[in-house]
Chain A
Amino acid sequence: MREAISVPYFGASLKEWLFTTDHKKIGILYLSTAYIFFLVAGFFGLIIRFEQTSPGIQLVQPDFYNYLLTGHGAVLLLWWAIASHIGGFGNFLLPLMIGAKDVAFPRLNALSWWAFFGASVLVLLTLIPGNHIKMMWTGYPPYSASGDAGVTALYVFIIHLVGVSSIATAVNFITTYIKMRAPGINFWNTNMFVHCLIAANVIQLVGVPSLAGAVTMLLLDKYLGTNFYNPAKGGDPLLYQNVFWFYSHPVVYVQILPVFGFFSEIVPTFARRPLFGYKSMIFAVWGITLLSFEVWIHHMFVSGVPDWARVIMSYTTILIAVPTGIKIFNWIGTLHGGAIILRSPMLYALGGIFMFLIGGLTGIPNAMVAIDLGISDSLFIVGHFHYVLGMALTLGLFGAIIYWFPKMTGKMYPENLGKVSFWLTFIGANLFYFFQMVVGMLGNPRRYPDYPPIPEWVTLHNIQTVGALILGLGVLVFTIGILKGLFAGEKAPDNPWQSQSLEWQIPSPAPVDNFGEEHPKVEPDYHPYKYGAPPVF
């Protein structure tokens, strides 16, 4: 093994950062931007949460509330739930895991990042009072085509820029995986994270143009007088919903698949044994990918579409539970017979898996069309997807940040802050999201800054706010941990977790030129989860 070079790759000059085409630097740029946006949009969420604590309008007027909620939803979905792991971890890890020097098209990769950066600037522009967008991240017309909705054009351009970035990244990653693998890396010994990442990018490639089309028609309707969605002139508002959800449902798998990847990397490492059912995991990933485009009507179960369409997509939706279940069973199977080390990345991964189980089981009533007619657009839905996004995904990302922190920075994330932040986040989030589901089951509609003083609702909202405060504290501690690790962290060994995977076989932080030569030498019996030998700590 080579010596770490004296200047770590991220200790580059500002100029180098600005003009970089290095996949690792681009990954870090994505990840840090996504994290900062996560903090801001999470703060928006806290304000929304406080407003709902008791009936009446206390903190923010409804219009501003609607802006905060639009920002919260859009930014967390696009920045935190997509850009952090595709742009961030995807860029950083994909070439390292398959033993490549960089991605296939490094300059296109830089273009992706700059398009995404442009979108980030547009998001900041919406903070200016006259630029607020108030139509929710779903932006349904005719409302979004009305003057009341705020600056729809900004929203459309944000989607376009993020879309350009996503499509370019998808082309890049898929090509990289197909053409740039080190000799010896094949379909059956590729890291699960890479399998999930590629599947997610296939969805991006197929789906993003559909979303871009939906919002482009919206732009034309609102500013140039076309009538795609205008019923008075023969248009149809449901056209938007169909085209919108054709991508925006599959996108939830873009968001969660890479997190499944994180779980599948972290759990075997800390259970010191191979991933159980590796092959069925791969089938499950592609099963989910295929099915994901056949289910979008479940977002429109009460929208007025024909009953037969609702029934068909009720079946396809509920079938997704099967491959999803397979993944959970396989993670649990990996624990069986392991030698489990509960370091903080493992805590985060296990917490994420157990919460994803709840997220999955509470997804079933949304798929059962008969139940959905009673809970559609209620806070139950919001509680359900916070279990998936606010817990499984967020815990998974936090775990991944701690896990790959040494390879990215050359420092260790402070273990004690990792544990404390885990328990705070986990307990707070459960208190919050569980009771969000309960109040939704009782009938509380979503996107309501105010609600009638029904006693049970008020109690349930109070509990949620307590939970959100604890959750906020957890995120704060986690963030302090990042800063402490960066500036005062212990120096990281090359392979602190004794992993078999390729990215750990090079110095920490990863050297500028990855493996030195074009490809590392891959042993014929290489497998990322071949945990045969005892770890040396």
Chain B
Amino acid sequence: MEQVLAFPAKWWNEAVTVWLVVAVVIYVVVAVPGLYFIMKYRFKPGEREIGDHEKHGHWGLEALWTIVPTIIVLVLATYSFAIFKKQRTAPPDAMTIKVTGFMWGWQAEYLDEKGNTIKTVVTTFNPTGYEVPDDQKIVVPAGKPVKALLTSLDVIHSFYVMPARITEDMVPGRITHLWFQINKPGEYWIFCREFCGTGHSHMFTKLKVVPPEQFTLWLKGETNLANKSNQIKGNL
């Protein structure tokens, strides 16, 4: 079985696929007859000069194309509602981080069981490039749900975790939230998607997903993670 890269992206992808299939089918069902009529019922001098002026409508047809679309959209909305509940409810075993936006960067805080901050990552504004220094990446363990509590120090920003296909605004004076889980270690983009001024397109960082044991080490302050965990494995 193929491994799922990320949640809630998995459900999001499914929803997009469902929509795309429905949309393409509707497009074909409407556009093909439309184009066909344009070809077939063409004005021809002496032959076809007036259109059918008796038919002003057809209540049966009109009822049909009111009722069927109503059903389709209600089903789609309900399907989306079911996914939305999962997108918005972090699994009970999720770890919590606090992320605060500012012009133009992020501060991510990691908490212990009592809710005290034990480690903080702050990104600095880089107005020209898109490189992220290693100590400014937001590190999370692979395969573990992460709940992010979001707020902002100045204007409204947003927190878009690209591999997880989830965004939520960071609003000053409010705490908003989202959750995600990335199963494959690697580096992924995080962007701000709410307009926040001059540096908006350079408000980004990388999400660094590492195996859980490396994450524990990192929390303790270790920087060279790969090296260190190999060392530990070697010692065992």
Contact = CB atoms under 8 A, between A and B. Distances in A.
Interface string B30-67: 11011001100111100011111101111001100110
Nearest to B22: A364
A314 B81 contact: yes
Interface in A307-335: 307, 310-311, 314-315, 318-319, 321-322, 325-326, 328-330, 332-333, 335
Interface stretch (A94-102, A336-344, A408-416): A336-344
A60 B94 CA distance: 44
Contacts of A328: 30
A329 B65 contact: yes
A443 interface: yes
B171 A303 contact: yes
B169 A445 contact: no
A63 B51 contact: no
20 contacts: A62-B198, A138-B195, A140-B195, A143-B196, A143-B197, A146-B155, A238-B174, A302-B167, A302-B168, A307-B84, A329-B62, A337-B55, A350-B38, A370-B87, A373-B12, A374-B167, A443-B191, A447-B200, A449-B201, A453-B130
B171 A238 contact: yes
Contacts of A275: 56
A326 B15 CA distance: 25
A322 B70 contact: yes
Interface stretch (B72-80, B136-144, B209-217): B72-80
B53 A532 contact: yes
B155 A142 contact: yes
Instruction: Determine the main DSSP class of B at the interface with A.
Output: mixed
B23 A237 contact: no
Nearest to B86: A370
Interface in A267-293: 271-280
B156 A237 contact: yes
Interface string A169-182: 00000000000000
B202 to A, nearest CB: 7
B84 A370 contact: yes
Given A63-B198, A357-B30, A532-B53, 7 more contacts: A143-B156, A302-B169, A318-B74, A322-B69, A326-B62, A377-B158, A443-B165
Given A273-B52, A447-B201, A336 B41 contact: yes
A532 B57 contact: no
B80 A369 contact: yes
Given A271-B51, A274-B53, A371-B12, A354 B31 contact: yes
Interface residues of A, number: 93
Given A143-B195, A319-B70, A376-B167, A273 B77 contact: no
B232 interface: no
Contacts of B48: 339
A473 interface: no
Contacts of B79: 368, 370
B106 to A, nearest CB: 15
B226 interface: no
Nearest to B164: A374
A319 B198 contact: no
Contacts of A62: 127, 198-201
A78 to B, nearest CB: 19
A261 to B, nearest CB: 18
Given A322-B66, A335-B41, A338-B37, A373 B84 contact: yes
Nearest to A358: B27
B182 interface: no
A378 to B, nearest CB: 7
A354 B33 CA distance: 12
A340 B19 contact: no
A401 interface: no
